[in-house]
Amino acid sequence: MPTNKKKVQEINAGSMADIAFLLLIFFLVATTMNVDTGIQRVLPPIPEKNQKAEVDIRERNLLLVHVNKFNQVAVANEIVDIRLVKDRAKEFMLNLADDPNLPEKEETVIEGLPGGKYMVSKGVISLQNDRGTSYDTYIRVQNELTRAVNEIRDQVSQEKFHKPFSELDEAQRKAIQAAVPQKISEAEPKNVGGK
Amino acid sequence: MKKKGDKGLPPISTASLPDVIFMILFFFMVSTTMRDQELLVRYTLPQATEVAKLEKKSLVSYIHIGPPSMSMQSKFGTTPKIQLNDSYRTTQDILEFVASERDKLSEQDKAAMTVCLKADVNTLMGVVTDVKQELRRATAYKISYAAQKAMGY
C-alpha cells in the first residue's frame, strides 16, 4: 500500500497559465463588447384592405413634420431650423394656454399617479420624409421629437414625484408614460418636396 | 551592499498567474457577447442624444444598410446594399429573414422581437423606407434605429 501511495504524483500545474491564456485570447477574438444603442420606435401595422387607410384625426390634434430631399425640416408647413423642432413639439404637446388651435386634452384617470387624474394630450406628431432625405437628418429629427417627449416626461415626473424620470421605479414610470404618451407616427411613405 | 548584489532579486512567484488570467478570462466571458456575423457593409452610425440601450441581445435581429466594404467594392460598387445574416440581399428577402429569425425565438419572446436597423449616415431614406415597409408587412413592428450616444449639442 505505501508503495502505491508514493506512485500518485502531483499534476504539474506549470502549463495552467498557458491554457488560461489561450482561452482568454480566444474570447478576446471571438466576442464583442459594444452595447447597441438606438432610438426605439414601433411601426404601425399595415391597414387592412377594406379599412380606411388613414384614421381621422382632428386637425388641431395633428402636428405635421416634413423633411424634404434637401434635408429641410418643416413643422406645420413652415420651414424651421432643426434646433427649433423640439420646442415646437413641446409647445404642441403641452398646450399650456389651452389654445383652440393646439391639441385637446382629456382628463384621464391614471393608476399610481399622485392626484389620480391627468390632462392627457391627444396630440399626434406625424413625421413624413422624402425618399431623398438623408438618414442622418431623419435620425436627428427623430431624436429631437423623442427629446421633446422625454423633457415633458421629466417635467411631469418632477412635478408629481419630485424626482427625474430616470430615477423612478417601474410603476411610477408606467404612470408617467401613460400621462405623456409618445405619439410619434411614421406616416405612409410619400414624396415630399418633389422628385 | 555586496551581499545583495550577489544574491540578486528573488524570482517573482508565478504560482498565482493562472488565477489572475482566469479572473480576466471570466470577466471577458461575462461581459461580452459572441460576434456572430461578418460585416459586408461599411457604416458610420448617426449620433443621437435620446438613445436607449437594447436589452436582451437574443431578441434582436440586425439589418445592416450601407455601401459595400472595401474588399467587396470592386465587385459591387458603392451603392448602399442591405445585408441580412452573411450576404447581400434585397428588400424582398426581408419577409423570409424575419420569419426565420422569429422561428428561433420561444413562443413568449416572439412578441418582444426587435429589429435593429444599422444604417450608414449617408444612406438616403428611400432604402430605409422600403425596409420599413417590408418589416411592417412581416409584422415586425418593434424597431430600433441604431445610433451612437452623443453628448448633446
This prediction has a pTM of 0.78
Q: Which residues of A touch B125 (CB under 8 A)?
A: 129-135, 138
Reading chain A (195 residues) residue by residue, the pLDDT tens digits are 455 556 778 877 778 888 888 988 888 888 877 778 888 888 888 777 666 555 667 777 888 888 888 888 888 888 888 888 888 888 888 887 777 778 878 777 777 777 777 888 888 888 888 888 888 888 888 888 898 998 998 988 888 888 888 888 888 888 888 888 888 887 666 654 443
Chain A CB within 8 Å of residue B44 CB: no
| Number of domain units in chain B | 2
Cross-chain Cβ contact B116/A17 below 8 Å: no
Q: Which amino acid is at B150?
A: A
Chain A CB within 8 Å of residue B37 CB: no
Whether B132 and B80 map to the same domain: the answer is: yes
**CATH code of the domain containing B72:** 3.30.420.270
| Number of domain units in chain A | 1
Cross-chain Cβ contact B51/A39 below 8 Å: yes
Residue B107 resides in a domain: yes
Cross-chain Cβ contact B136/A138 below 8 Å: no
* Nearest-neighbour CA in chain B from A12: distance (Å): 11
Q: Report the complex ipTM.
A: 0.77
Chain B CB within 8 Å of residue A112 CB: no
Contact between B48 and A39 under an 8 Å Cβ cutoff? The reply is yes
Q: Give residue B118's domain range.
A: 47-149
Residue B52 resides in a domain: yes
Task: Tell me which residue of A121, A95, A102 sits closest to A181, measured CA to CA.
Answer: A121
Cross-chain Cβ contact A147/B54 below 8 Å: no
Which residue among A19, A39, A45 places its CB closest to the CB of B145?
A39
Nearest CA in chain A to B112: A42
**E runs forming strands in B45-128:** 47-48, 52-53, 60-66, 81-84, 87-89, 114-119
Return the DSSP state at A116: S
